[in-house]
Amino acid sequence: MTTIVRSRTELRTALAVAPRPVGLVPTMGWLHDGHRALIRRSRSAEATTVVSIFVNPRQFGPGTDYTKYPRDEARDVAICESEGVDIVFAPAVDEIYPPGFDTTISVKGVSGPLEGAARPGHFDGVATVVAILFGLVGAERAYLGQKDAQQVMVIRRMATDLAIATEVVACPTVRDPDGLALSSRNVHLSPAERAAAPALRRALLAGRARWAAGERDAETLRDAMFETLTQEPLIDVDYVSVADGSTLAELDRVDGPALLSLAVRFGTTRLIDNEPLG
Ligand code: AMP
């Protein structure tokens, strides 16, 4: 039986009688098979699984897609029920940020490049809401997607620095058969854009192939990714990156663990993907 709670108090009451250990899967809803994979990982390891559904206004920049972000709570709850989720926490904005709320969690270094540079304030919003969720749920573990690799790094840093005992478990990216990473934003792609979108994966695999063949010059790997993307006229490249696997600083040479990543736009729809190396 899935219990749906909307307030901090109801959540605490439900958790007080929930068997431990507890796993948390934080989401913004519009659940897909990527979210289902996180839920299943949690269910296989934890006695209680909590899914939060909250489209967090603080992680969207002004004039970006907060209002057009897809929402369908009834469908999301049905998916959680079918996956055996124990508790769904679906709060209103005022419940997370009540009147007087005046705290921002700002992780420095690893929040700076890539998505942090492209979306100013984004990771402050993410770190703040996840700190609240971690504090409220007190889970033993939280299950996050490797698709948002930088987000995983930011949240790990935040939890370590704030002495929050929740361990962050990063789970593999779930993809459609043609390689496109599942994302709630894929719903906004036109048929032509959807047909072009596997180029993201092809670009990352082109970079990986050059690296596997011995190429260590980072700019050559970036060029390989960029050229693959620009073969699709519907794609506007936001960035391609070959970055250090722990700091996310852009590399000149790939001599250790690294992260290939990219962000593109199809019109107003922005998609990201990544591939770890080493
Ligand atoms: P979101 O609802 O997009 O904020 O995502 C909630 C969680 O699901 C985050 O930890 C994401 O990284 C993860 N996630 C999103 N898409 C995927 C995917 N295709 N595969 C695995 N995890 C994903």
| pLDDT tens profile 135-173 | 999 999 999 999 999 999 999 999 999 999 999 999 999
Q: Is 125 in the pocket of ligand 1 (CB under 6 A)?
A: no
In the structure encoding, which two tokens stand for residue 246, read together?
């722990």
Whether residue 35 lies in the annotated active site = yes
pLDDT score recorded for residue 29: 98
Question: pLDDT digit string (tens) for 17-45?
Answer: 999 999 999 999 999 999 999 999 999 99
Classify the phi-psi angles of 45: left when phi > 0, otherwise alpha if psi is within -120 to 50, otherwise beta.
alpha
> What count of other Cβ atoms lies within 10 Å of the Cβ of residue 101?
12
> Is 144 touching ligand 1 by the criterion CB < 6 Å?
yes
**Distance from the alpha carbon of residue 159 to the mean position of ligand 1, in angstroms:** 19
The verdict on the CB of residue 201 being under 6 Å from ligand 1 is: no
Between helix 199-212 and helix 218-230 the angle, nearest 10°, is 150
Please tell me the distance from the alpha carbon of residue 222 to that of residue 235, in angstroms, as a whole number: 16
CA 14 – ligand 1 centroid, Å: 25
**Exposed e or buried b per residue across 43-58, where buried means at least 16 C-beta atoms within 10 angstroms of its C-beta:** beebebbbbbbbbbeb
The pLDDT value recorded for residue 63 is 82
pLDDT digits (tens, 9 = 90+) for 179-220: 999 999 999 999 999 999 999 999 999 999 999 999 999 999
Token duo for residue 268: 């107003």
